[in-house]
Structure 1
């Protein structure tokens, strides 16, 4: 099937193709899903490069998009025996990606990051194909740090991020939000959980893989929380607690896909990790929230920076993982409930917009 786009706006039609990449976690895939409908409407043929067993494969193939498999090693900042072999996997991935790109001849490549993206970005560079990268966090992750020298432009989400991008490549676009996320039904969300209108709903999200720290603290204080809230708890694969299944007002899920928009619409307040994608979704939905960023001991500290930026802007309350106790959580929840209207007001007045249109403009500009 051929796809066409009137790039010049003068009736002259030309065929365009985009290859997208990003993986390793849902956070490196879902922003691509936000761009795909508009790219399709514009007539771009869309293909994707990812790994064989990465989370991106199931998500992208579920969208009916042509998917190419390459090898890639994980990039680490810490000492690990696999650091000896993984660079060779990356090199193999570069050669595989370069061959795919040479054969498919895309007009542009869009990368959302994650370790799979590095071979694709370098492969595009070797084929002289323009590359647009998107960085969600305030400071670039390791994969994007390696990729930036081979890129044309780098889209960033936070105003503070532009200064971290060298070579005048940084462009403030915001993060792309899926249009369907904004169309969830509060009523459907309550019906899915069997909740009436008697209590506000607290939704707990620990990231795409779940968070043991957050899961444990919620379950420790479950009886206290249930006195005031109905709870929707997305706890991650393999993290269900069957002993709590009979608790009235407590609904737990390993992972939610199609119903997520309705569940988020139904929720009145959130407790969440501080990955950039989810916090900008909460901002777009105007949902008061408590952020518990991943500890610097277990990460590069990007979630801490994200959370502090949102706290400074008046969009979120923040709790440090190291200082988290059941009592502190309950006290903070009480404060958030009392001040929820202030947080909604701050989010309503935010100048941050959905990044889809700005990113699409950039993709169109550098498509050749």
Structure 2
């Protein structure tokens, strides 16, 4: 009898891409796949592109700061629980796999009530709020960083690493050049600020683009609604809100990557062995998980790191770019590490707990 799995997770691309990475292996194992995400989140577009049945539910946002919406969102969560329960009764899955994010909580609570086993995955060193809330209701939590073990019960934790999409490793430099149409052979910097974009990174790059273009070509992934038309016709500079099909080729073309320090992004950079500079999201705007991620990669020799508070002038970043490019072979050699097969490890756990 064919087994069915419901995948869930959303809010940012980081809560969706690892789910997409394990889909081919789940299909190989004979699973029918269904996805539960938020009604209007980025996950809908990404999952529907994979031709996976998608259900959108109501969900609140988990905020660590005062906001009037904090009083409204619990009602959305309750509504989401009823919606998720109806979907589970309709689909009758054998197992749930959650990548976290606020949309996963109604699904996990409904699954626990229906005695459907849940496997979760935590990308960052410290568990996110959604995974903390969900912890009592899950069978196993797969982790990306070995350091995460000290925050989670040994009984539930399983070190797997983070799943990387196979197609990401199949990029073509020739296709990358065809896409960008750069008119010179300068080294290429790829800059990305996460699926939502980064105003801080966007501004520091654009305000100093002339200096960068003296030596480099720049691919700038600036986030939804953040393309600046006044920069559209500058030779050597190309902008995208978000990249999908082009991503493997643009990554292959790049010599250096400047990025936020979300776990999925930095592990993709590691898998591609790209010298990189990480500018983690400031602790002022987050729980500090990206700072911990970046420090871990810097200590292991995979990355250089510059915190936002340190970037009091562009020269600090520019000097770091030149340093990393000059020593790029050292970083590439440092990234010659073996992490096993995260996709196989995660799917094996899912198979084990499928009822």
The answer to whether the superposition gives a TM-score over 0.5 is yes
| Partner Cα separation in structure 2 for residue 92 and residue 247 of structure 1 | 48
Q: What residue is the counterpart of 2:93 in the other structure?
A: 106
Give the corresponding residue for 1:257: 244
TM-score computed with the length of structure 2 as normaliser: 0.97
Which of the residues 109, 117, 122 maps onto 2:109?
122
Structure 2 vs 1, CA of residues 159 and 178 (structure 1 numbering), >3 Å: closer, same or farther? same
Deviating above 4 A after TM superposition, structure 1's stretches of 4 or more consecutive aligned residues are none
Given candidates 176, 182, 203, the residue that maps to 1:216 is: 203
Task: State the 1:242 CA deviation.
Answer: 2.1
1:183: Cα distance to partner?
0.5
User: C-alpha displacement at 1:101, in angstroms?
Assistant: 1.1
Residue 356 (structure 1) aligns with: 343
- State how far apart, in whole Å, the 2-side matches of 1:224 and 1:125 are: 56
Distance of aligned partners of 1:196 and 1:287 in 2 relative to their CA distance in 1, 3 Å threshold: farther
Contact 2:60 2:76 in 1 (8 A): yes
With over 3 angstroms needed to count, the CA separation of the structure-2 counterparts of 1:233 and 1:353, relative to structure 1, is farther
> Considering only aligned residues, what root-mean-square deviation do their CA atoms show, in Å?
1.2
Q: Does the 8 Å CA contact 1:284/1:354 hold for their aligned counterparts?
A: no
User: Which of 40, 44, 55 matches 2:42?
Assistant: 55
Report the CA distance between 1:215 and its aligned residue: 0.8
Equivalent of 1:326, from 314, 324, 338?
A: 314
1:1-368 to 2 correspondences below 5 Å: 14-166=1-153, 168-195=155-182, 198-324=185-311, 325-348=313-336, 350-368=337-355
Contact (CA 8 Å) 2:119, 2:350: kept in 1 or not? yes
Alpha-carbon offset, residue 186 of structure 1: 1.0
Aligned partners of 2:40 and 2:56 also within 8 Å:
no
Structure 1 segments unaligned to the other structure (5+ residues): 1-13
User: Does the 8 Å CA contact 2:118/2:139 hold for their aligned counterparts?
Assistant: yes
Residues in 2 aligned to 1:94 and 1:167: alpha-carbon distance in whole angstroms: 29
Q: Distance in 2 between matches of 1:339 and 1:353?
A: 27
> Structure 1 length as normaliser, TM-score?
0.94
Superposed CA offset, 1:25-46 (max 9, x none): 1111111000111111221000
Paired residues of 1:177 and 1:354 also in contact (CA < 8 A): no
- What is the rounded CA distance, in whole Å, between the counterparts of 1:93 and 1:243 in structure 2? 42
* Conserved 8 A contact 1:233-1:252: yes
Structure 1 residue 167, shift from structure 2 partner: 5.6
Deviation digits for residues 262-295 of structure 1 (CA, Å, limit 9, x no counterpart) = 1111111100000001000000000000000000
Deviation per residue, 1:124-164 (Å, 9 max, x gap): 11111110000000011111110111000000000001111
Q: Name the CA shift for 1:343/1:167 in 2 (closer, same or farther; >3 Å).
A: closer
